[in-house]
Amino acid sequence: MANRSAVLHAVNDLRIEERPIPAAGTGQVLVRVAAVGVCGSDVHYFEHGRIGSHLMRSPMILGHESAGHVVDVGEGVDPARIGQLVALEPGVPDRTCSECLAGRYNLCPNVVFLATPPVDGSMSQFVAFDASFAHVAPEGITAEQAAMAEPVSVAVWANRRGQVGPGDRVLVTGAGPIGNFVAQVARSFGASSVTISDLNPYRLAVARSMGFDARLPGEIEGEFDVAIECSGAAPVVLSSMRSLARAGRMVLVGMGADTAPIDVPVLQARELTVLGVFRYANCYPIALGLISSRKVDVLGVITHRFGLAESVRAMTLAHDEPESLKVVVEPQS
Amino acid sequence: MANRSAVLHAVNDLRIEERPIPAAGTGQVLVRVAAVGVCGSDVHYFEHGRIGSHLMRSPMILGHESAGHVVDVGEGVDPARIGQLVALEPGVPDRTCSECLAGRYNLCPNVVFLATPPVDGSMSQFVAFDASFAHVAPEGITAEQAAMAEPVSVAVWANRRGQVGPGDRVLVTGAGPIGNFVAQVARSFGASSVTISDLNPYRLAVARSMGFDARLPGEIEGEFDVAIECSGAAPVVLSSMRSLARAGRMVLVGMGADTAPIDVPVLQARELTVLGVFRYANCYPIALGLISSRKVDVLGVITHRFGLAESVRAMTLAHDEPESLKVVVEPQS
Amino acid sequence: MANRSAVLHAVNDLRIEERPIPAAGTGQVLVRVAAVGVCGSDVHYFEHGRIGSHLMRSPMILGHESAGHVVDVGEGVDPARIGQLVALEPGVPDRTCSECLAGRYNLCPNVVFLATPPVDGSMSQFVAFDASFAHVAPEGITAEQAAMAEPVSVAVWANRRGQVGPGDRVLVTGAGPIGNFVAQVARSFGASSVTISDLNPYRLAVARSMGFDARLPGEIEGEFDVAIECSGAAPVVLSSMRSLARAGRMVLVGMGADTAPIDVPVLQARELTVLGVFRYANCYPIALGLISSRKVDVLGVITHRFGLAESVRAMTLAHDEPESLKVVVEPQS
Amino acid sequence: MANRSAVLHAVNDLRIEERPIPAAGTGQVLVRVAAVGVCGSDVHYFEHGRIGSHLMRSPMILGHESAGHVVDVGEGVDPARIGQLVALEPGVPDRTCSECLAGRYNLCPNVVFLATPPVDGSMSQFVAFDASFAHVAPEGITAEQAAMAEPVSVAVWANRRGQVGPGDRVLVTGAGPIGNFVAQVARSFGASSVTISDLNPYRLAVARSMGFDARLPGEIEGEFDVAIECSGAAPVVLSSMRSLARAGRMVLVGMGADTAPIDVPVLQARELTVLGVFRYANCYPIALGLISSRKVDVLGVITHRFGLAESVRAMTLAHDEPESLKVVVEPQS
């Protein structure tokens, strides 16, 4: 039986290849993957072959936003799990280091993260995965929705780090999939207002249709308690922090800038806090709950779906098609 | 009876003048000032006539690190306070705004702060001051020690914002009076190690004599949980944050830079937090306790003392004399 | 011009009397009161003449959940406030003590709280009140809704102390007005589930109609992350804490018990936290926002309205009429 | 080669038996145990055969406060560890459950804890143990000191849960080994004062010689910000909480009571927080640092030392000898 996978060989060289179906090892489940979201990092590897110091040295399967059904279990895993729809939390930490023991497993130096060289991703028909990081999806959601637990977890974590809560006025810069989810999660956390900005009119329109105050960057008014930067543009850090009220918090989610200037007198006079975020920890159950309860609408963010054979198209679409948000690959079709 | 005061008329034009002795208003105490520490901000007004947007438009008495004895009380203040040695917390907030009600009175937009234009400072023989911000000094400390509650409060606040605690490895950049006090307070908060850096060999030697690991900036080794920047040099922000461990915190105390670059990938990958600080809130009692218990040695930081007539010398000394730390003016002598 | 007021003279002796219309003092507004909610504490004074150590020694006007329109301002208050609909935060602290400066003004030992002996309440046609504690109501809400900011603030504070947030399973014991608001606020804070219990079938039905899992005390199942006790029954403390998951929090809102037993081995083995709450601090703006945005439905909790002349009926109704929740007195009718 | 061990067969029936020397399994180190502190729980099993629901059903080796030298390593462990002095953190969690992932591994439902039925303890000449929970002792401390990292970790955790910090006035009830260490740790955390109470004059004298304000329970005066209950006597909960200032915290360390009454009006009016503690998480490195830096004096608390053959005497001494604190068993002598 085949295990067709989307394997990146080099820049712009993504091939569908047959790989062996892996066996579920000790503590693992074997998952028949039903949906894999395309993340900006997948596109970045496709276009550049690297992300910062993470350099591809050999062919790598892409994909890390995935969900599917358990079809087998390894030693030590309850066979009753067979049949479950699971969302795969893609970074499995070593559980032993001081970061893990402190509950910050996202900072584990030995984490094994899907589709981060040299680790293969999950854009395959089958993947063997750590059973405790294969989170059971709540009743009533689809695999596609469950796969979105990954970017929604990014959004949950960003909101947690920024301590978003009732009464907060939140600014989200960037209305792509992450920015959109960050805005939705901010609302579910009780934010009293959420403003979202982008240059892309389609993405603004989607955000506006979800009830957000969506604006072009130059049209942002007022002051905010929390700014969550999801665009990756360095100058936005400076302009966003200057829009913060006293005791405001600024969360940097977007990647891209190497350095970014901050306004020191403003940081000091208003006692701002600037927070870096890296992936997420302990967020999957909350993300799945938000998806299941419809507090976060993920279907409204998925704009395109492709079969595995169309993976190349899935990678290029984000850049070619301004009227897009999240793209999902369906390995079984 | 006269009230000799150190009045700044213009850049480099500091005069000793007689002002009327103020009356203690409602809720105030009249204090015979015994000691006033010279702060970098006093020197900055003396040399530039302004600090950022705070521009002197008329003559202003300098000084805000002060202590002395209560000699009279206004309406509503217990006459038993007469005779008390008090340390004056120099910023009296409006107590009514949302920042004050939230306990962040240091961020009160209507704060009245000594020696910040157009408010006169306390480098006078007598000053009338809000009774509840005139903190009773613990038994056994001198006015000079009590006056140091101001810069020690800056240090307490910086350590609190940085959540310095047991087990933390702390880096303090800048070994001037503030940096020195920040290092001492870090130790009293339980930091497991404190490294302090400066270019000035005298200041390093003083820090070393107090038991700190004192080093030239280029000789800093290892990683830190908290970095407290007290030098005001923008490039130090970047180098310090790169020396932080995962989940590290960076506190910006030093003023001077307008913008400073931060390393975004490092901020994100290690989930660092960068915190601005502005003065302090609710720190005077703790600062006085640290001084009184000798957990913070303030006498070891005071290197020069002058009478009021020598105030000009007190202002210029910091720049002329590398072998100096804190300078104190004694208005009664 | 008269100022008719509901004055409690002794147990069960509530009289409508004409009092002089007060003048707006310095920093005050004069408010024509439009709505006053009846609180359990009003009823308790009516029935017992005291609450714990707070003993009525002279006639006292009842009422502290109030809103109305500004009709005059005292010295130092912007005359533009005339005409505003304001919700009166009933406890005005001294703003000077260490609790106030720390942001815990609800714990101010010198707080002046409406309808707490010997301070008169606001069940009057006119009341002069601290301008900064007379919170402007958002556009589009009525005085009656604005008056509910008081019990909703109690609910906000209880949820804050219990750190209710996304993912939490919350149990609220007691479905009276406070319990109902606590449940609604928990939901607005992102709680993933809210269960509410009471013996009163009417109150359970109201809660159920609002979407809560409403149950008789004996029918509670499952475990909870936060339990918020609003019934005041001592045994509920023990049963609720035993239903908490590891790291759970128990908030005691309900008054009545002098002592209550806690289960020490359970408290320890699960590392529970038991939190007392006293009124609220910095909650009115959030409460008004929740009411204005309809995240908290206050009209669904107000079951009875009376004119001032019917105040006695307003006091006795809660005990006589099981099919009641919040009662509002309208001083102008 | 033998592995003499102190095996509890039944109440009062502790025997020294030879057991096989275990092999270091995967991820384990084999430790030649040099020192084992006797804990109240060991004595409790010796006297009662159970602690609460933890019932001995078969013979069990006692002891969980232990340190020794690594003499062999299992698969996956660096052989360079051979020769290290290590302190054994006795509870190894499953690292997989939600509590572990959240950093609360002390609440792991699947924790394997030394000398908790049916798990054997470490009062043996050799023990095989999880390598990552075998913490390397800092240079310059002895095995006996390293073994004390266990009760010192209890003290660190209690202080953390109680958020003890600079400015806090701390009351410790109970001056046994745990109470003594709690007091010492509170001081190292920056507490401004530490009062400790007990009925035992010897224990008070030891505490007094360490610089604490040591008093009989009836002689406690003043108010406290944090009370840490280490006596296990239920009535102390009530009296201690009544001595707390507003916003005070009460930490329950001492075991023994099933239920304890709390004062609800006091809990509410002062907004107290009552916190249960269960063992500790992420405290060993800090505890070892405190011991190594002499901020916590453990030698001053160890009053008796016995060879393994005298284990019975080690168990009975605490009850027989009022002039005792911590007892250490040395398995190699």
Single out the residue of C202, C157, C153 nearest to residue C176, CA to CA: C202
State residue D1's pLDDT score: 64
Which bin fits B195, alpha (ψ -120 to 50), beta or left (φ > 0)? beta
- pLDDT of res. C1: 64
Query: Which of A138-152, A285-299, B42-56 has the weakest average pLDDT?
Result: B42-56
What pLDDT, on the 0 to 100 scale, is given for residue D318?
Answer: 77
Q: Enumerate residues 6+ apart whose C-beta is below 8 A from C169.
A: C191, C192, C193, C195, C222, C223, C224, C225, C226, C245
Could you report the per-residue pLDDT of B179-210, keeping only the tens digit for each? 999 999 999 999 999 999 999 999 999 999 99
Q: Do the Cβ atoms of A104 and D101 come within 8 Å?
A: no
Mean pLDDT of A151-157: 98
Average pLDDT over residues C101-105: 98
**pTM for this model (two decimals):** 0.97
Task: Write the residue in D262, D270, D271 that is nearest to C262 by C-beta.
Answer: D262
Q: How many CB atoms lie within 10 A of CB D142?
A: 16
Q: pLDDT tens digits for D257-309?
A: 899 999 999 999 999 999 999 999 999 999 999 999 999 999 999 999 999 99
Residue B56 confidence (pLDDT): 94
Hey, what are A114's tokens?
């899907």
Half-sphere CA count of C151, side-chain side, radius 13 A: 33
Contacts of D164 by beta carbon, 8 Å cutoff, 6+ apart: D170, D185, D186, D189, D190, D191, D226
Report the sign of the C-alpha dihedral through residues B15, B20, B21, B22, in that order.
Answer: negative
Of D102, D132, D285, the CB nearest to A103: D102
Write the residue in D101, D104, D132 that is nearest to A105 by C-beta: D101
Are D262 and C263 an interchain contact pair (Cβ–Cβ within 8 Å)? no
Mean pLDDT score, A32-37: 98
Per residue in A92-119, pLDDT (tens digit) is 999 999 999 999 999 999 999 999 999 9
Percent of chain B with pLDDT over 70: 100
**Does the structure show a pLDDT above 80 at A1?**
no
Residues in chain C with CB shorter than 8 Å from the CB of A166 are: 156, 188-189, 286, 289-290
Helical axes A149-161 vs A284-292, angle rounded to 10°: 110
Per-residue confidence at B1, pLDDT binned at 50, 70, 90?
low
Task: For residue range A6-28, list pLDDT tens digits in order.
Answer: 999 999 999 999 999 999 999 99
Counting as contact any 3 or more CB pairs under 8 A, the partners of C are A, B, D
Give the pLDDT score at A87. Answer: 98
| pLDDT-derived band at C190, boundaries 50, 70, 90 | very high
Neighbouring residues of C128: CB distance < 8 A, sequence distance ≥ 6: C22, C23, C24, C25, C28, C29, C30, C31, C74
How many CA atoms lie within 13 Å of D207's alpha carbon, on the beta-carbon side?
A: 32
Note down pLDDT in tens along chain D; length 333 residues.
689 999 999 999 999 999 999 999 999 999 999 999 999 999 999 999 999 889 999 999 999 999 999 999 999 999 999 999 999 999 999 999 999 999 999 999 999 999 999 999 999 999 999 999 999 999 999 999 999 999 999 999 999 999 999 999 999 999 999 999 999 999 999 999 999 999 999 999 999 999 999 999 999 999 999 999 999 998 999 999 999 999 999 999 999 889 999 999 999 999 999 999 999 999 999 999 999 999 999 999 999 999 999 999 999 997 889 999 999 999 998
Q: Which of B50, B161, B262 to mutate to test the interface with A (most CBs of A within 10 A)?
A: B262
Query: What is the tens place of the pLDDT at every residue in D166-186?
Result: 999 999 999 999 999 999 999
Residue A294: partners with Cβ closer than 8 Å, 6 or more residues away: none
Domains, chain D? 3-148+298-330 (3.90.180.10), 154-276 (3.40.50.720)
Chain D residues lying within 8 Å of B103, measured CB to CB: none
Q: How confident is the model at residue B39 (pLDDT cuts 50, 70, 90)?
A: very high
Asked if A291 and A298 touch (Cβ cutoff 8 Å), the reply is: yes
Please tell me which chains touch D, using 3 or more CB pairs under 8 Å as the contact test: A, B, C
Tell me what the mean pLDDT of segment C298-315 comes to: 97
Report the residue of chain D nearest B189, measured CA to CA. D190
Residue B81 has pLDDT above 80, yes or no: yes
CA distance linking residue D278 with residue C246, whole number of Å: 11
Hey, which residues 252-271 in chain D have their CB within 8 Å of chain C?
Answer: 252, 255, 257-271
* Structure confidence at residue D256 (pLDDT): 83
Q: Give the 3-state secondary structure of chain C.
A: CCEEEEEEEECCEEEEEEECCCCCCCCEEEEEEEEEECCHHHHHHHHHCEECCEECCCCEECCCEEEEEEEEECCCCCHHHCCCEEEECCEECCCCCHHHHCCCHHHCCCCEECCECCECCCCECEEEEEHHHEEECCCCCCHHHHHCHHHHHHHHHHHHHCCCCCCCEEEEECCCHHHHHHHHHHHHCCCCEEEEECCCHHHHHHHHHCCCEEECHHHCCCCEEEEEECCCCHHHHHHHHHCEEEEEEEEECCCCCCEEEEEHHHHHHCCCEEEECCCCCCCHHHHHHHHHCCCCCCCCCEEEEEEHHHHHHHHHHHHHCCCCCEEEEECCC
Residues B278-306 pLDDT 10s: 999 999 999 999 999 999 999 999 999 99
* Element counts in chain B: helices (H) and strands (E): 10, 21
pLDDT at site A301: 98
Residue B260: name the closest of A233, A262, A266, A237 by CA: A262
The model's pLDDT over A305-333, given as tens digits with 9 standing for 90+, comes to 999 999 999 999 978 899 999 999 999 98
Tens-digit pLDDT profile for residues C4-63: 999 999 999 999 999 999 999 999 999 999 999 999 999 999 999 999 889 999 999 999
Q: How far is C237 from chain D (nearest CA, A)?
A: 10
The residue in chain A having the minimum alpha-carbon distance to the alpha carbon of residue C287 is A167
Q: In this complex, do A189 and C192 lie within 8 Å of one another by their Cβ atoms?
A: no
Q: Specify the pLDDT at position B256.
A: 83
**Does D285 contact chain B (CB < 8 Å)?**
yes
Q: What length does chain B have?
A: 333
- pLDDT tens sequence across C63-86: 999 999 999 999 999 999 999 999
* B233 confidence band (pLDDT: 50, 70, 90): very high
